[in-house]
Amino acid sequence: MPLSVSQRLVSPLQEWYLSHHRSLPWRDTQDPYKIWVSEIILQQTRVNQGLEYYKRFITYFPSIKELAEAPEDKVLLLWQGLGYYSRARNLHRAAQLVMEQYEGVFPKTFEAIRALPGIGEYTAGAIASFAYNLSHPAVDGNVLRVMSRITACALPIDSNMGKKELSQAVVSLLKSAHPAIFNQALIELGALVCTPKKPQCSQCPIAEHCALAGTPEVERYPYKEKQITIRHRYLNYIVLSSSSGYYINKRGDNDIWRGLYEFPLLETEQATDPKDLAQLWQEKFATSWTEIPSAPLFEMEHKLSHQLLHIKVYRAVQSADTPLGNPFQLVSQGQLSDYAFPVPLAQFIKKHRE
C-alpha cells in the first residue's frame, strides 16, 4: 500500500521556502552547468565548505567548454580538500562527453542527464527539476528523513524498498507542485528544520500534515538497517631530506585518492615503530637511512566512508643520495602547491610551510 501523504502540504511548504531559504549562488540561476557543479560538490560536503570551492571552480571553469578542455591534474588541484576525488574525475569526463555528444549544450532530459558519468538518480532529478522544472523527484538524505517522518514510514531508508516507497510519495506530491521549488523546499526543510537531532517541529510549516511532529518518536526516524564495517589502515609517509627537493609520486588507479600525489609510502598492518619502518624502507627501496626518526613530524586520523586512516609523516635522511627513480619525481618546496595531494598531506605541507 502506498504511503499516505497529504497534497495540502505542498502550498505551505513552497511558500515557506520562498521566504526562508538560504541565499546560495546556485539557487540564483537555472544554468544546468552551475547547478550540476554545485550538486556534485555538495554530495559529500557541507554547504559552508562547499560554497568557497564552488565559487573558485566556477571562476576557473565558467562553462562546460573550459572544464572539458582542462587537464585532469588542474581539475584535481582545484578539488583538493574536498575529498572523494572520483567526483572531480567524473565531472571532468562528463563535461568532455557533453562537448562530444551534445555540442557543449547540457542535455535537457532526465534520461540523458542520468547517463552522464557520476550522476545518479538524485543528482539527475535535481538538475532536471532545478534547471528545467521537470517533474522528477530529487530525493537525498534530507528528503528521505523528512518524508519518513511525515509518513511515519518504518521502512529503513537505506533499503531499496524504503527508498522506493518514499520516492513514490514525493512523486505523488509533485503532481500539484512547482517541481523546482518543491524539491528544493523539501531539501531545505531537512537542512534547517527537520534536522537529524532536535528537529524544530514548532517552526515547521507543514507540522499539521506530519504524522510525527512534536512527538517523542520523531527523533527515532528514519530507520536504517545497515552497519558499516570500518577498515583501519596505517599509512606511514617518508619525507626524504634532499638538497634537490622532495620525492613525490602519483597514486595508482585501484585505491583511494586515485591520481593524487603523495610522498613515499610504507603501509603497514598496524601502528609500527620507526625502527621497523627503517627496515621496511630498506627492503622496499634498497637504501637505508643515516638516522632513524624518533617521532613523526605530523600525525592524524582521517575518516573516509568505510575506512579510518591512521597517518604519520616522518622525515628521514638516506645514507646515500641515491635517486628513488620511477615512479617518483623530485620537486622543490615551492612546486608542491602545483600538485594535488590528499587532504592530510595537504595539511602537512601547509603546516610545515608556515
CA distance 149 to 217: 9
Q: Which residues are paired to 314 by β-bridges?
A: 238
Judge contact between 41 and 57, C-beta under 8 A: yes
CA distance 206 to 154: 20
Judge contact between 253 and 339, C-beta under 8 A: no
Q: Is 52 a catalytic residue?
A: no
DSSP state of 286: S
Q: Which of 15, 39, 52, 225 is catalytic?
A: 39
Q: Name the H helices within 31-178.
A: 32-41, 47-60, 64-69, 72-79, 86-102, 110-114, 121-132, 141-151, 160-174
Q: Is 251 helix (H, G, I), strand (E, B) or coil?
A: coil
Sequence-separated contacts (24+) of 158-164 with Cβ below 8 Å: 158/224, 158/225, 158/226, 159/225, 162/222, 162/223, 163/139
SS3 content of the chain, % helix, strand, coil (to 5): 45, 15, 40
Q: Phi and psi dihedrals of 245, rounded to 5? A: 135, -150
Judge contact between 64 and 98, C-beta under 8 A: yes
Q: Which residue has the cell 557520476?
A: 118
CA distance 43 to 91: 12
Q: Which residues are catalytic?
A: 39
